[in-house]
Amino acid sequence: MRVLFDLLYIQRSSVTGVSIYAERLIRGFLSCNNGVSIVVLVLPDYATDFKIRFPSIPYVIINRKVKNQYLNCLIDNLGIDLFFSPYLYIWSIAGLKIPQIAVIHDIQSLFLQKNIVYRTLYKALLYNKLKIVDRIITISEYSKNSIVEKFPSFGSKIDVVYNSIDFVSKVNMAKYEEFKPYILDVNSLVPYKNIETLINAFALIKNQIPH
């Protein structure tokens, strides 16, 4: 099987949760050696970084405005069997001639966006993407339940696959001894991640748990 990965949401020097997620998946494919080969779609400004990270992976440089007709020709020429989107958003590619699996990490915009016009438009565009793809992967039961709450007709094609853990990375925890007690939270500093609540909760229990 040959899989076409859509990494058109990653820009040069991008360090986000969804970019790390995709790169871990690619490393997983490389290490599994299970007969699946991949080709990656990248933006022009990410191509150099991608080549440095994954020199053995073939990639195609395109822009986000590429037409499905061109992509279907590319699919034929490269012998692609499956289109995979590690991050489904409202501008993601969809509706190609081959099966598509997409990952939707959360739908926070539908819950947090206060502008009703934007929220309604976002929901309609996302609905169209979810309708087109063949299978949907999400990263937790909570995310699945949130999606089903807003889009109940798609519940039967959603699968939960939890985020991976990078066992290769090694961290010297000894250098953090002087900061005890502490809690480790790997996250981005955006309001809906609710870091403030985590800090306040830890302050309440830090003297009650071993470190």
Pairing outcome for strands 2-6 and 37-42: parallel
Give pLDDT, residue 98.
Answer: 95
- The residue among 63, 140, 129, 62 whose CA lies nearest residue 95 is 129
Tell me how many degrees the CA angle 138-47-135 measures, rounded to the nearest 5.
20
Query: 59 with 41: CB under 8 angstroms?
Result: yes
- Bond from prior residue into 181 cis (ω within 30 degrees of 0): yes
Give pLDDT, residue 169.
Answer: 63
Query: 195 with 189: CB under 8 angstroms?
Result: yes
pLDDT band per the 50, 70, 90 thresholds, residue 211: low
CB-based contacts of 7: which residues, under 8 Å, 6+ apart?
Answer: 22, 40, 41, 42, 43, 46, 50, 86
Alpha helices in 79-155 (DSSP H): 108-112, 116-132, 141-150
Looking at every residue in the chain, the average pLDDT score rounds to 87
Q: How many residues does the chain have?
A: 211
Give per-residue pLDDT as tens, 26-73.
988 888 867 889 999 999 999 999 999 999 999 999 987 888 889 999
pTM of the model: 0.82
pLDDT band per the 50, 70, 90 thresholds, residue 143: very high
The letter for the amino acid at 35 is G
Query: 7 with 85: CB under 8 angstroms?
Result: no
Phi/psi at 205 (5° precision):
-115, 0
Give pLDDT, residue 149.
Answer: 92
Q: How many CB atoms lie within 10 A of CB 20?
A: 16
Check residue 53 and give left, alpha or beta (phi > 0: left; psi -120 to 50: alpha).
alpha
Q: Is the pLDDT of residue 87 over 70?
A: yes
Alpha carbons 123 and 173: distance in angstroms, whole number: 43
Q: Average of pLDDT values for 140-152? A: 93
- Output the six-digit token pair for 171: 């961290």
- Output the six-digit token pair for 42: 């990248």
Q: Average of pLDDT values for 142-158? A: 94
Q: Is the pLDDT of residue 167 over 90?
A: no
- The residue among 80, 69, 71, 83 whose CA lies nearest residue 6 is 83
pLDDT band per the 50, 70, 90 thresholds, residue 95: confident
Give per-residue pLDDT as tens, 100-137.
999 999 888 787 778 888 889 989 999 999 999 999 99
Alpha carbons 154 and 156: distance in angstroms, whole number: 6
